[in-house]
Structures are given as structure tokens and as C-alpha cells.
């Protein structure tokens, strides 16, 4: 009986852990897009949402040898975006100052703004060009 109670009590913890894992990247690999000099994108965070087809990515200015959590605040925040590559539109999902922010509730309903390259530079173009090779996951 005790095992059953412990097992049942652990289910919410496991469910929460799975949700937390799906909204945050397990690693951070910051790379410069070709032609960029200081704007990096996180390769490990970038992925395609299965239900909407939108690409979720994040960029930051600074240095590549993260993790971002150790960067000084003067380097600026991580900017989180969702991209609709077919329409050349992007959605602002907010800023992350320490690398721990997940996706906001209702993020798929954010207003779409034109010109991905204008917002994300060459990183946005690169992410859209490699959409077919990105991991496809069910995001909350």
C-alpha cells in the first residue's frame, strides 16, 4: 500500500518534469550565423512546433562560450522568437535575462510581424533554410 501511495504521489512530479524539459533546452550551443559578427543563435533551443509548424528560436548578442547564465547583464538579454517562415513573419515571445525562461502561455496567438531577417538578421534566414532538419516537438 505504501508503494502505491508513493507511486501516485510521484506522478505529478514526473509530469511537471516532462513539461519543464519540453519548454527548455537541455544544452546551449550558441553559434554565429554566416556573415554575422556578434549575434548568436542557440542551436539546441531551435525547434519546430508540431501543431503549428512555427519555429521557436532565440538569439543573443555577446560571446559564444556560454552558458548564457554566466554572461554579464551588460551583454543584453536573450530574445525569444517564433518564426512563420512561409509568410516571412515573426512573433516576439519576450526576453530572457538568465536563460531559464520558457514559452509564454498562448504564444501561438501573438501578433505576427513582417520581415524575419529584419528582426533576427542572418540567423533568421539560416533557421528558415534549415527548417526541415530541425527537431519537431510538441510544445506547450
For residues 124 and 117, the answer to whether their CB atoms sit within 8 Å is yes
Residue 27 is predicted with a pLDDT of 76
Residue 56 is predicted with a pLDDT of 97
Rounded mean pLDDT for each run of 10 residues along the chain, 140 residues in total: 41 39 59 86 94 94 58 71 97 85 92 95 95 96
- pTM metric for this prediction: 0.75
Fold entry, domain 2-137: Lipocalin (2.40.128)
pLDDT tens digits along 1-11: 444 333 344 44
Number of Cβ within 10 Å of residue 55's Cβ equals: 22
Q: Alpha-carbon Rg of the chain, whole angstroms?
A: 17
Amino acid at each position: 500500500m505504501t508503494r502505491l501511495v508513493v507511486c501516485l504521489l510521484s506522478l505529478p512530479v514526473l509530469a511537471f518534469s516532462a513539461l519543464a524539459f519540453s519548454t527548455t533546452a537541455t544544452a546551449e550551443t550558441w553559434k554565429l550565423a554566416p556573415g554575422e559578427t556578434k549575434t548568436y543563435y542557440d542551436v539546441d533551443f531551435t525547434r519546430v512546433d508540431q501543431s503549428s509548424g512555427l519555429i521557436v528560436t532565440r538569439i543573443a548578442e555577446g560571446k559564444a562560450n556560454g552558458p548564457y547564465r554566466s554572461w554579464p547583464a551588460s551583454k543584453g538579454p536573450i530574445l525569444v522568437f517564433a518564426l512563420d517562415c512561409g509568410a516571412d513573419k515573426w512573433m516576439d515571445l519576450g526576453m530572457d535575462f538568465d536563460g531559464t525562461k520558457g514559452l509564454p502561455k498562448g504564444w501561438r496567438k501573438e501578433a505576427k510581424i513582417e520581415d524575419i531577417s529584419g528582426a533576427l538578421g542572418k540567423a533568421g534566414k539560416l533557421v528558415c533554410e534549415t527548417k526541415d532538419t530541425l527537431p519537431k516537438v510538441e510544445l506547450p
